[in-house]
């Protein structure tokens, strides 16, 4: 059986590009497990473009969903790569109007899910004597944008966990890193109002938005370079400067 590369949220803009790039870079050595939640049509379209890949549907905001994902992957083989990409950025709420329900929603998907997937997939990788985990953070872990209080906190905490897991799993053969994208053109950012896009663009030193493929290239760099552990690579065109 081939080792498995798991990409969560593979039906989304960044997840699709990451899965495709890992498939191409591994030249068939790894089998892609494409996780999705909702939008089955888009997930099937992604799968159609990646030979030998398979789909797993799960709501990763729940413990049951995370367990389903792990069980489905283990049926197919040993997980060698986990990319914690699934994430949400809404609701957008000004700091003085943040709601507890929004906190639960955002933190469950953006923080709790990658935390417990790192724990559970990390154990399997150690059992298989090696593996790597890449978490998709955000430029907003490093800078402010009105309406992003909880999202920002969830991504900043994800970067802290990346370093903690890198420290504890490194000696056991598992590297853990993160990529912090800036404004990338995906279904998530397509929903933003035009004036918001103009404002964000004015904060990017390169004066343009990024592509999902640029994020995927950074993920593959972290996979390839076996001496990078606990790092966060920014792919933001200089938005955090
Ligand atoms: P997207 O909306 O295109 O994809 C998000 C994916 O997450 C989808 O596949 C969706 O099904 C999945 N998802 C959402 N809720 C889920 C749940 N409860 N359980 C399981 N899966 C769930 O967004 P994207 O732009 O491709 O974002 C991917 C990642 O990149 C996210 O973590 C996001 O925070 C991060 N990011 C994106 C940008 C950007 O500009 N697009 C910038 C910085 C960080």
- pLDDT tens string for the chain (241 positions)? 789 999 999 999 999 999 999 999 999 999 999 999 999 999 999 999 999 999 999 999 999 999 999 999 999 999 999 999 999 999 999 999 999 999 999 999 999 999 999 999 999 999 999 999 999 999 999 999 999 999 999 999 999 999 999 999 999 999 999 999 999 999 899 999 999 999 999 999 999 999 999 999 999 999 999 999 999 999 999 999 9
Confirm whether 36 is a catalytic residue: no
Residue nearest to atom 7 of ligand 1 (CA): 86
In 3-state terms, what secondary structure has residue 28?
coil
Q: Which atom of ligand 1 is nearest to the CA of 86?
A: 7
CA atoms of 25 and 223, how far apart (whole Å) = 10
DSSP-assigned beta bridge partners for residue 96:
none
Scan for tokens 């700091």, then name that residue. Answer: 95
CA of 87 to the centre of ligand 1 (A): 4
Domain architecture of the chain: domains with CATH? 4-235 (3.40.50.720)
CA atoms of 20 and 49, how far apart (whole Å) = 8
CA of 114 to the centre of ligand 1 (A): 12
């Amino acid at each position: 059986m081939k080792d498995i590369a798991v990409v969560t949220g593979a039906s989304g803009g960044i997840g699709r590009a990451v899965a495709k790039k890992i498939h191409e870079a591994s030249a068939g050595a790894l089998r892609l497990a494409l996780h999705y939640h909702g939008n089955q049509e888009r997930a099937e379209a992604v799968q159609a473009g990646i030979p030998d890949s398979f789909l797993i549907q799960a709501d990763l905001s729940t413990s049951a969903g995370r367990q389903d994902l792990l069980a489905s992957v283990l049926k197919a083989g040993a997980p060698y790569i986990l990319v914690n990409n699934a994430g949400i950025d809404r609701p957008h709420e000004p700091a003085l109007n943040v709601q507890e329900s929004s906190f639960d929603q955002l933190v469950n998907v953006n923080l709790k899910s990658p935390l417990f997937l790192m724990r559970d997939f990390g154990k399997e990788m150690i059992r298989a004597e090696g593996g790597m985990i890449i978490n998709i953070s955000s430029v907003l872990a490093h800078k402010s944008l009105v309406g992003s209080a909880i999202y920002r906190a969830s991504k900043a905490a994800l970067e802290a966990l990346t370093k903690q897991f890198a420290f504890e799993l490194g000696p056991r053969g598992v590297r853990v890193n993160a990529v912090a994208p800036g404004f990338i053109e995906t279904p998530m950012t397509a929903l933003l109002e035009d004036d918001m896009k103009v404002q964000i663009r004015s904060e990017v030193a390169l004066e343009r938005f990024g592509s999902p493929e640029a994020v995927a290239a950074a993920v593959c760099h972290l996979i390839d370079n076996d001496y990078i552990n606990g790092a966060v690579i920014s792919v933001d065109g200089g938005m955090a400067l």
